A and B are shown apart, each in its own frame.
Chain A
Amino acid sequence: MAALKPLLYVFVYPGLLFLFAYGTFCEWFDRKVYARLQNRMGPTHTGRWGLLQPVADFVKLMAKEDVVPEKADKGLFTALPVVGLAVVATAMLLVPVWHVSPTASGFNSFSGDIIVLLYLLSLPTLIFFLAGWSSTNLFSTVGGTRVLTMLFGYEVPLFLAVLSPALLAGSWRLAEIAAFYQARPLLLLVNLPAFAISLVCVQAKLERTPFDIPHAETEIVGGTFTEFSGKKLAFFRLMTDIELVVSSGLLATVFLGGFPGGVGWGFVQFILKTLFIIFLLSLMRAATSRIRVDQVVSFAWRFLAPAAVGQLLLVILLKGFMP
């Protein structure tokens, strides 16, 4: 049983099977909310309320012809989608859902796992850059460089913003941070600015609308994904969906007090809190227009980073006054 448990974690819950189901559901939710905000219908006909539309998209892409550019590095080009999917799925193991108790540490909960999670979430960016670069297309190359340029903008504010609640909780372990705020829910209010900052940064990390610069359709066609097709594109899309789940799970753990209450209630809380964050992200996507890559960097360093530092200062001062 003890040996079976990790396997269950990896493949069923919160591993690949659950991630596939929940990731596609989140994509559906995002699309539906986005459409409704725009007074449209969104997915309607595949499954009840169009629920199966992302799955149908995935299956369709898996069946499509898979083209590798002649001049591309074949090995790298093929490996990147798989590695990317593996990275984000691994990151999900670290999100403390019901299976992690705040006291006992294990392979998926240890001191410093918040840092590991953040780094695992940074890897997709690098993968996107490599994907753009290795496909040797002009548009992909421009997209790849835009991915990296954006990384310089949002990564530091994201780290500062996510680490300030950890600092206040005095722990580098996600489960402990969540438990700390469950005990003192009022302290969550202190972190509201950091929550706003990290929402913006996660939006940038996920390359969604004000920051969908690396694959801005009207400027550089498909951007990083211009040359990807078939299974590889399907994997990349699934990877983005899972990244959405993991990032919202991270934000919910750190800023919304985690998912206490055992299997049932904890699971419901996980769904509700991540959907709430995805709703906020969708709202941001609907309410803004795409900005330029230089504007991302200047915006991040002129507003986000100072605000994150301010939040950090606030937390340090508060910690000094706290018993």
Chain B
Amino acid sequence: MRIGAFIPELLRHLFKKPATVDYPFKKLSPPEGFRGTPYLHPETCIVCRACERDCPAEAIEIVELSAAEKRFRLTIHNDRCIHCAQCVDSCPTDAMRMDDKYEIAAFSRWDLKAAWEYVRAVVKPKAPAPAPAAPAPSANPPSDNG
């Protein structure tokens, strides 16, 4: 028992810089490999539907628009997404990637849908080894709110 056992530690911090960050004005940057929001790189998507099948939240939806043109629409329902990056792991051609955004709230769940319309790519799938980590993502993934 020691009365005021905490006081030296408290006083030591009185004129120190606070440990907290003045959040909306100053921001911390997420570390490398942070799992932000998934986005599609449509040039390499071969529509194998592995991401759709493995997504635990059923947040990925692939619709065939035209069988003749091999046109597809992939929608990521970010309102359901749980940011587990399983789609990135499942993708055999490295078409699914994660960005590092963390301020992803929106006023309506319909603002959170991201859709890509594209023609199926003809890319040879890589060896069954898991895809390497995604390269640094572009600032703005192409999206139109379909």
Contact = CB atoms under 8 A, between A and B. Distances in A.
Q: Do chains A and B touch in the complex (CB under 8 A)?
A: yes
Interface stretch (B18-26, B101-109, B133-141): B18-26
A36 interface: yes
A44 interface: yes
B7 A40 contact: no
A40 B4 contact: no
B14 interface: yes
B27 interface: no
Chain B CB within 10 A, most for which of A33, A35, A41: A41
B22 A44 contact: yes
State the main secondary structure of chain B at its contact with A. loop
B18 A41 contact: yes
A182 to B, nearest CB: 30
Contact of A287 (B6, B15, B18, B19): B6
Interface in A23-40: 33, 35-40
B18 A36 contact: yes
B10 to A, nearest CB: 4
Interface string B1-36: 000101100110111101110100000000000000
B4 A287 contact: yes
Nearest to B21: A41
A283 interface: yes
Interface residues of A, number: 13
A39 B16 contact: yes
Contacts of B18: 35-36, 39-41
A39 B18 CA distance: 5
A283 B19 CA distance: 19
A286 interface: yes
B6 A286 contact: yes
Nearest to B5: A287
Given A36-B13, A36-B14, A39-B13, A283 B7 contact: yes
Nearest to B7: A287
Contact of A37 (B10, B19, B20): B10
B116 to A, nearest CB: 40
A41 B22 CA distance: 8
Contacts of A36: 13-15, 18
B3 to A, nearest CB: 9
A40 B19 contact: yes
A137 to B, nearest CB: 34
B24 to A, nearest CB: 10
Interface of B: 4, 6-7, 10-11, 13-16, 18-20, 22
16 contacts: A33-B14, A36-B13, A36-B18, A37-B13, A37-B14, A38-B10, A39-B16, A39-B18, A39-B19, A39-B20, A40-B19, A283-B7, A283-B11, A286-B10, A287-B7, A288-B6
